């Protein structure tokens, strides 16, 4: 659905752009291709690593790590699992909901969801290409630490712990 909207909007704008100025549109497509081509090897490498990590860290393993009563250690581990994995939202949220049902705490799930979205260890090679090493490391470190605050507040506000 999300993709359908994305494609629809892109196509509409592309047609409008072409009607207004064919040369400019060609230029835009050239630029799009050049950027895509430049970053493609990093993307493909990231995807191989994603495959590897998700093969090892399947939902079974994850639920064992952040099961009930895992406490702060569980929060730290969930944050690490979230940071190194790259799972699309439509898989991540149902997985998180399932983990909650199986006894994981809100704090652990909060840490997991937060680092999953904000921290990208395997996507770092792509990020470095655009933002450089120092900024990539700093941004991910801050986001990782910030996720503990998010986990703590979610644990207090939602879990009532």
Partner 1 sequence: MKPLLKRFGFLIAAIAAVAAITLFDASLGFKAVNIAGFSLKEMLLVLPPVFVLMGLLDVWVPKEIMIRYMGEGSGVKGIALAILLGSAAAGPLYGAFPVAAVFMRKEVKFTNILIFIGAWSTTKIPMFVFEMSALGTAFAVTRLLVDIPGIIIIAYALAALIPKEEIKALYKNAENL
119: left (phi over 0), alpha (psi -120 to 50) or beta: beta
Rounded to whole angstroms, the Cα distance separating 48 from 62 reads 20
Of 71 and 94, nearer to partner 1 (C-beta) is 94
Rounded to whole angstroms, the Cα distance separating 3 from 7 reads 6
Kindly state the smallest distance separating residue 84's Cβ from partner 1, in Å.
Answer: 14
- Which two three-digit tokens encode residue 116? 């999953």
- Which two three-digit tokens encode residue 130? 């655009």
Kindly state the smallest distance separating residue 101's Cβ from partner 1, in Å.
Answer: 11
Kindly state the smallest distance separating residue 70's Cβ from partner 1, in Å.
Answer: 18
Of 12 and 73, nearer to partner 1 (C-beta) is 12
Of 69 and 134, nearer to partner 1 (C-beta) is 134
């Amino acid at each position: 659905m999300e993709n359908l909207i994305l494609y629809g909007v892109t196509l509409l704008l592309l047609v409008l752009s072409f009607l207004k100025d064919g040369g400019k549109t060609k230029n835009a497509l050239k630029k799009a291709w050049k950027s895509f081509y430049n970053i493609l090897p990093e993307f493909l490498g990231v995807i191989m690593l994603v495959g590897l990590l998700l093969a090892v860290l399947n939902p079974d393993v994850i639920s064992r790590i952040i099961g009930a009563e895992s406490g702060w250690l569980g929060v730290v581990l969930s944050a690490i699992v979230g940071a190194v994995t790259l799972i699309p939202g439509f898989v991540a949220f149902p997985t998180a909901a399932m983990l909650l049902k199986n006894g994981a705490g809100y704090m652990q799930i909060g840490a997991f969801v937060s680092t999953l979205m904000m921290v990208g260890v395997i996507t770092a090679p792509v990020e470095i290409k655009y933002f450089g090493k120092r900024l990539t490391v700093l941004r991910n470190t801050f986001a990782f630490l910030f996720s503990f605050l998010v986990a703590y507040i979610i644990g207090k506000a939602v879990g009532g712990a």
